[in-house]
Amino acid sequence: MNQQAVLRVEGICKKLDGKSILDDCSLTVNRGELKVLIGPSGAGKSTFLQSINCLIPPDAGEIYLEGQRLDRADTAALCAFRAQVGMIFQDFNLFDHLTAEENVAIALRKVRGMNASDAKDRAQNELARVGLARRALLYPAQLSGGQKQRVAIARALAMDPKVILLDEPTSALDPELVGEVLAVIRDLASGGMTMVMATHQMDFARALATEILFMERGRIIEQGAPETLLAEGSNTRTRDFCLRLLEMGA
């Protein structure tokens, strides 16, 4: 029961202008797991995440949420699916005309049909959870990058997602703001949230990932627990890539 697959993605393919961007990518996430996608820029991590909830519709492949197959042609089903799958974007994508609180509340009201005051209460709670209770009435333009990303996380959490997809949530942030966002994600992981995250934060991945998936040129070429993939002398592409990241960082 506790090893039930929350999200299962099989054989996702995507071509753009005849060029293959995703080639037969599959992924299974069980309840409470954190899967981390790593790989060089342009490897297709972001496209993969966005095709899981069909923001970029895949050409082929199947997507299952809690064992139930997603019919991508059925708009209502697709919207319902998306409402249960949280998404965090690299560049936050907050709605610029709404305050932090309204950003969190709007989908509760419009998609979940919640009434305004309940949605507001819920938004307050979620903002408190990411440490932004006192920023609820500010507009996106009045928030720092780290705060914006935390609002985006609160916005996703408010929908009670079964799984959250995080697309390099810290890579658009100034270095000193990365920590606050990672801390929130760490809390989620220890609270048992199911997540798939693309990132370049190797220390974070090593410490928290259930499994690391290494992507290159649109394919998942290695996958395994961080301790095996990154083990001393394991001679994997993943380890190779991480060492290069470290060198550049040093």
Partner 1 sequence: MHSLYVVYNALPSMLAGSLVTMGNVALSLTMGLLLGVPMAVAQVYGNTLVRKLVTLYVWFFRGVPILVLLFLCYGLFISMGIAMPPFFICCLVLGCTSTAYQSQIFRGAIESIPRGQFNAARALGMHDNMAIRSIILPQAMRLSIPGWANEFSILLKDSAICFVLGTQDIMARTSFAAARTHEHLALYAAAGVLYFILTLAVLKLLRRLEQKVHVPGYSSGIGMEGMGMG
Q: Which residues bind partner 1 (CB under 8 A)?
A: 50, 53, 55, 75, 79-87, 89, 91-97, 106-107, 110-111, 138-142, 152, 155-156, 159
Q: How far is the CB of 78 from partner 1 (least distance, A)?
A: 9
- Pairwise CA distance, residues 160 & 123, whole Å: 12
Do residues 106 and 93 make contact, with C-beta atoms less than 8 angstroms apart?
no
Amino acid at 195: M
- H/E run at residue 12: strand 5-16
Q: Which CB atom, from 142 or from 190, has the smaller least distance to partner 1?
A: 142
- Tokens of residue 90, six digits: 């690299």
Q: How far is the CB of 130 from partner 1 (least distance, A)?
A: 16
Q: How far is the CB of 167 from partner 1 (least distance, A)?
A: 10
Q: How far is the CB of 133 from partner 1 (least distance, A)?
A: 19
Residue whose structure tokens are 């790593």: 38
Q: Which CB atom, from 97 or from 134, has the smaller least distance to partner 1?
A: 97
Q: Which of 157, 96, 92 is nearest to 125 (CA)?
A: 157
Q: Which CB atom, from 50 or from 199, has the smaller least distance to partner 1?
A: 50
Phi, psi of 80 (to 5 degrees): -65, -40
Q: Which CB atom, from 87 or from 195, has the smaller least distance to partner 1?
A: 87
